[in-house]
Amino acid sequence: MKRRGKKSYLRFVALGGGQEVGASCYFLQINDAYILLDCGKSPNGAYFPDFSTILKPPFLESLNQITQIFISHSHFDHIGAFRYLSSQCRNAGVYATPITKALLFHILWNLNEWQTSPPEDRREEEEIRSEAAIRSIIEIGYCQEIFLPEYTVTFFEAGHIPGAAMVYLQTEDRRILYTGDFSCHAGVLTSSYILPDSIQFDTMIICGLHAKHPHLRRGRNPQSQFAFVKGALERGCSVLLETVQLTKGWEVLHSLNKAMENRRLPRIPVYIDQKLSLLAEEMERMHIPVRRAWNYVGIPPRGEQAALIGRFAPAHFLPVKVDFSLHPTYRELADFIEKYHPKTVVLVHTGSAEPRIEANCLEIELMTRTSWTGHFIYAETGEIYSL
């Protein structure tokens, strides 16, 4: 590391995903290192990172000066701008876990950013460039320490979805944790987050979707929503399990298969689309099995009772929206911050406050707990913060 004996210089800018959800992309300057934490956009194109704040003094002349990009996980609001940044940040090393790297190509092309389909020759060219950029990603395993000129970085398991990572950055005098999206409970395919008992950090950049939702109960999981599905199947109906995110479709498939194996649901054919099938194949190459013998690709034959996972189905299918949260609750966020006791909390990736609830309710609650005294920053997109 450089600057031995000198105080580290840290600045932070939310380029997207500050006090809103979508386009999670955060600029962190550590001395002479210029870092991006995630590179997301919203699937509908409403949110895209705004780089204007950092493309002027006192920061950068060009995005080619970005030195590292760390990708926490493969949800589109954290990776959607990857293709753009891979072409603009040509000198940056890009780091992700092996599973996140394996998922990236599937997520980007199945939720592509084109408003209309590009010409075939252009699409092929873009696919080649994207694949080359993804292949160049440097894989980091959990707990593996990587030494870089201004700091060291370690990835820790975040839960949330397979491959998700918390990013821990250390200089001689500073310890910073970027949580990315994380889970405090085991999910369908993941454990909860895992951090070493001995870990300490003075600065936490925390994704807090429910930080302004003190009355929101813990989100349901797929299994808890199958009672209605069971009744429909027992009545002889075919069902469409509606999912928005491709990775959630993968978790719904896993839960549905488990319920059928355990006889909690009638075992009938389960159909998935080509996109989800390709994703399942990729995960099976990573030794994460999801599919079973009664799973098929395509549309069920007319007259066959079946379950279909996706967004569209024949008219006679009963639609069931399967939605569940992969994020910590308000209470879990408060306990997490109190447990690790950072001096500075930078809150990002938040939803709008509940009616009649103060936007800084989490800070107010933590200040009333005698064991926590720290500084809260509600990072607004485009604002510069010295940490």
- Contacts with 112 (C-beta within 8 Å, 6 or more apart), sequence order: none
pLDDT of residue 159: 94
The sign of the CA dihedral 139, 144, 147, 150 is: positive
Query: What are the residue ranges spanned by the domains of the chain?
Result: 10-215+326-386, 222-321
10-215+326-386 shares its CATH topology with 222-321: no
For the beta carbon of residue 210, count every other beta carbon within 10 angstroms: 22
pLDDT of residue 115: 37
Contact present, 251 and 103 (Cβ < 8 Å): no
pLDDT of residue 1: 47
Beta-sheet pairing, 239-242 with 307-310: parallel
pLDDT of residue 3: 54
Distances (CA, A) of 331 to 33, 60, 165, 335: 35, 39, 21, 6
Direct distance between the N- and C-terminal alpha carbons of the chain, in angstroms, rounded to an integer: 19
Helix (H, G, I), strand (E, B) or coil at 278: helix
Q: Which residue has the tokens 């069931």?
A: 320
Fold of the domain spanning 10-215+326-386: Metallo-beta-lactamase; Chain A (3.60.15)
The stretches of 286-343 forming alpha helices (DSSP H) are 330-340
Q: What is the pTM for the complete model shown?
A: 0.91
Q: Among 101, 176, 113, which Cα is nearest to 141's?
A: 101
Contact present, 29 and 35 (Cβ < 8 Å): yes
Contact present, 21 and 351 (Cβ < 8 Å): yes
pLDDT of residue 121: 64
pLDDT of residue 223: 65
Select 222-321's CATH number: 3.30.230.10, 3.40.50.10890, 3.40.50.970, 3.30.420.40: 3.40.50.10890
On the CB side of 193, CA atoms within 13 Å amount to: 25
| Cα–Cα dist 241/102, whole Å | 25
Burial of 202 (0-12, 13-18, 19+ CB in 10 A): middle
Provide the token pair at 213: 């939702």
Residue 14 pairs with which residues in a beta bridge? 26
pLDDT tens, N- to C-terminus, the chain (387 residues): 445 667 999 999 999 999 999 899 999 999 999 999 999 998 777 789 999 999 999 999 999 999 999 999 999 899 999 989 999 999 999 999 999 999 988 887 665 443 345 566 666 777 777 788 899 999 999 999 999 999 999 999 999 999 999 999 999 999 999 999 999 988 878 899 999 999 999 999 999 999 999 988 765 566 667 888 899 999 999 999 988 777 788 889 998 999 999 999 999 999 998 888 888 888 888 888 889 999 999 989 988 999 999 887 788 899 988 877 789 999 999 999 999 999 999 999 998 998 888 899 999 999 888 777 889 999 999 999 999
* φ, ψ dihedrals at 252, nearest 5°: -65, -45
Q: Which residue has the tokens 């990729």?
A: 282
Helix (H, G, I), strand (E, B) or coil at 323: coil
Provide the token pair at 314: 């024949």
pLDDT of residue 361: 93
| Cα–Cα dist 326/186, whole Å | 10
pLDDT of residue 345: 97
